Structure 1
């Protein structure tokens, strides 16, 4: 699965969204399900899905789908 599709899938699964939900524009607390507990579950799922370790600074920086992508790109994930 391409990395961008995997990222979308991780967001949908972690935030318990339908399989066809648009996630590219999601922002932290932009939907009710993305609270602090869901945020930590999302980070753990991202680490597992992309085999990376996300440090505290980056955990706090993941404030949107786009920000998560940027964090993963800095970790070496190629979305192109």
Structure 2
């Protein structure tokens, strides 16, 4: 499984969304992605990719697309 497939799967499982909806998903744009859902997702993301996100990056992680940019900073190629 590629890193992009892992990333997509985590989004779909965490927020119960379909693959075709991923590009438009934003923080608080769906009920499941609230503050609690966000922190659970960040924890799962760190565990999956064996990284430790900075507080600023956790706060800046506001959409599916923005997440790709942030992960690239940590050497995660999607």
TM-based fold match above 0.5: yes
More helix by share: 2
Correspondence list, 1:1-80, <5 A: 1-15=1-15, 17=16, 20=19, 22-79=21-78
- Number of residues paired by the alignment? 78
Q: Which runs of 4+ in 1 moved over 6 A?
A: none
| TM-align CA RMSD | 1.4
* TM, length-normalised to structure 1: 0.88
1:7-46 Cα offsets, whole Å, 9 max, x none, are 011111222x156563222000111111000000010011
Taking the aligned partners of 2:65 and 2:20, their CA distance within structure 1 comes to 16
Question: Are the equivalent residues in 1 in contact too, given 2:11–2:17 (CA < 8 A)?
Answer: no
